[in-house]
C-alpha cells in the first residue's frame, strides 16, 4: 500500500485509515463487526459455540442466521419473521435475495419429491477428483479396505502439500458424507509425515466418492426425532499405539 498521489509528506510515516479497504487483511474482521452490530440492533445475537451463527428468539418464532464473509443464510420457524429480517437488512446493505437455498459454501441443497431436504457436495467432489486426475479411475465400493492396517513403516510421500490439501478437502466432504468419516479420520492422523500407503488410502476414498458422487445427507420432516448410535471398540487391531478406539455410527 502506498500514499495517494499528492500526499507524499516524507518517509517513515503511518497512514490512518478511516474505513477498512477491500482486500486488506483487516477488512473481513471489520465487515464482521459491522454486521454483528447491525444484527444486534435487530435483536439477533451471536451464539457462544459459533460466532458466525446468529439466533433470534421471540414469542412468534426462532430465526437462525449463518454468515460466511458476505454470504448469509437465513431460516426460521415463521416465514413472515424471516422476510421481515431480510427487509430490515436490505435497508442497511444491498442484498441479493436468492429466496430458496440452492448453493451455499459449495453445498448443494435440493428438495425431493417428498419434501425432504438433500445436501450434497457433488461439484466439490468432482473438483477434488480433477485435481488428482482420477476422474476415470476404477471406482471402489467401500471407502476403505476392511483388512487395511496403517502403520508407521514404508516410503514417505514426497508431496506434502498435496496430501494436506486433499485430506483437508475430504474433511469438508464429511459434512454431507458421514460414511467416509472413519476413513478420513484414519488418514488425518498422519498429517505430519504421510507415507505412500496413506496416500493410496486417500485415493481409495476418492475413488469411492467417484462411485457415490450423488449421495448426500437427507433431512425429513418428523415430529418424533431420534438419534440411534451403535458403538464398537477395538484396541488390539491398532498397531500404531495400541490405544483403544471406538467406531460410532449414528442414524
Contact 222, 232 (CB under 8 A): no
If DSSP codes are grouped into helix, strand and coil, which group holds residue 188? helix
Residue 189 falls inside a structural domain: yes
Residues 88 and 129 in one domain: no
The CATH number of whichever domain residue 95 belongs to comes to 3.30.310
Residues 134 and 67 in one domain: no
| Structure letter (DSSP) for residue 213 | T
Residues 85 and 131 in one domain: no
Contact 119, 107 (CB under 8 A): yes
Residue 185 falls inside a structural domain: yes
User: Rounded distance, CA 233 to CA 241, Å?
Assistant: 15
Provide the domain limits for residue 142: 119-224
User: Rounded distance, CA 250 to CA 181, Å?
Assistant: 11
| pLDDT of 97 | 81
Residue 196 falls inside a structural domain: yes
Question: What tens digit of pLDDT does each residue of 163-189 get?
Answer: 999 999 999 999 999 899 988 988 998
Residue 20 falls inside a structural domain: no
Question: What tens digit of pLDDT does each residue of 184-235 get?
Answer: 988 998 888 888 988 999 999 999 999 999 999 888 877 777 776 666 555 5
Question: What tens digit of pLDDT does each residue of 94-139 get?
Answer: 888 877 888 888 899 988 778 888 999 999 999 999 998 887 778 8
Residue 13 falls inside a structural domain: no
Residue 73 falls inside a structural domain: yes
| pLDDT of 235 | 52
Residue 112: φ, ψ to 5°: -80, 175
Q: Cell 476404477 sits at which residue?
A: 138
Beta strands (DSSP E) in 52-206 are 53-57, 62-68, 71-76, 103-104, 107-111, 117-120
According to DSSP, the β-strands at 103-104 and 71-76 are: unpaired
pTM: 0.76
Contact 20, 35 (CB under 8 A): no
Amino acid at each position: 500500500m502506498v500514499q495517494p498521489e499528492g500526499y507524499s509528506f516524507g518517509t517513515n510515516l503511518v497512514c490512518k485509515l478511516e474505513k477498512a479497504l477491500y482486500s486488506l487483511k483487516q477488512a473481513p474482521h471489520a465487515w464482521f463487526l459491522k454486521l454483528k452490530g447491525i444484527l444486534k440492533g435487530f435483536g439477533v445475537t451471536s451464539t457462544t459455540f459459533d460466532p458466525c451463527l446468529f439466533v433470534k428468539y421471540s414469542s412468534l418464532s426462532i430465526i437462525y442466521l449463518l454468515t460466511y464473509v458476505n454470504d448469509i443464510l437465513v431460516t426460521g420457524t415463521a416465514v413472515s419473521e424471516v422476510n421481515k429480517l431480510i427487509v430490515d437488512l436490505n435497508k442497511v446493505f444491498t442484498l441479493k435475495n436468492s429466496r430458496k437455498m440452492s448453493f451455499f459454501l459449495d453445498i448443494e441443497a435440493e428438495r425431493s419429491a417428498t419434501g425432504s431436504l438433500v445436501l450434497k457436495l457433488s461439484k466439490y467432489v468432482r473438483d477434488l477428483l480433477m485435481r488428482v486426475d482420477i476422474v476415470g479411475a476404477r471406482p471402489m465400493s467401500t471407502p476403505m479396505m476392511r483388512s487395511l492396517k496403517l502403520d508407521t513403516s514404508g516410503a514417505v510421500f514426497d508431496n506434502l502439500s498435496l496430501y494436506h490439501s486433499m485430506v483437508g478437502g475430504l474433511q469438508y466432504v464429511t459434512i454431507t458424507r458421514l460414511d467416509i468419516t472413519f476413513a478420513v479420520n484414519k488418514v488425518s492422523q498422519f498429517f505430519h509425515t504421510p507415507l505412500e500407503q496413506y496416500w493410496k488410502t486417500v485415493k481409495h476414498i476418492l475413488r469411492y466418492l467417484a462411485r457415490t458422487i450423488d449421495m448426500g445427507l437427507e433431512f425429513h420432516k418428523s415430529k418424533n426425532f431420534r438419534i440411534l448410535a451403535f458403538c464398537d471398540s477395538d484396541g488390539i487391531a491398532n498397531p500404531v499405539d495400541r490405544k483403544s478406539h471406538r467406531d460410532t455410527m449414528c442414524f
